Amino acid sequence: MMRDIDEIASDFELLDDWEDRYRYLIELGRELPAMDEADMNDRTKVPGCVSQVWLVSRTDDASPPRVSFMGQSDAHIVKGLVAVALSLYSGRTAPEILSLDAEALFGRIGLQEHLTPQRSNGLRSMVRRIQADARTAMEAA
């Protein structure tokens, strides 16, 4: 079971040192459910990430559709960023996903100023992919 995004944000606020926050990100990444190797392919790979990142979305038949995500990465810190993004977005309705301000949340927990430009770009690429999947789910509904 993934942690709630509010719990993650609260935990970040309790950690003063960025070394501790990086360790926490790595811990979050370790908690991600395993992803089937067959789902880790070129179709699910997120472009724009220096590390390899794969995202799979599943949409239910509700109206509006609810979208759940699974993700994985081959890099420890990036895997933690995947966990943060999925905690924010997974299980929400497509309109909720499209209305969320990920930049504000990531800014609140200080990710922007403590990530390398490559990791920041990768995080933005993940968010764009999640939003694209939500748009696709709405169009299919």
Q: Name the token pair of 100.
A: 């969320």
Answer for the pair 25, 9: CB distance below 8 angstroms, yes or no: no
Name the residue with tokens 């992919």. Answer: 129
Spot the catalytic one: 8, 25, 46, 49.
49
Phi and psi at residue 91, in whole multiples of 5°? 90, 0
Q: Cis ω on the peptide bond leading into residue 64 (within 30° of 0)?
A: yes
Active site residue 42: no
CB 28 within 8 A of CB 8: yes
- The residue among 53, 120, 113, 50 whose CA lies nearest residue 83 is 53
Q: Is 97 exposed, middle or buried (0-12, 13-18, 19+ CB in 10 A)?
A: buried
What is the set of active-site residues? 49
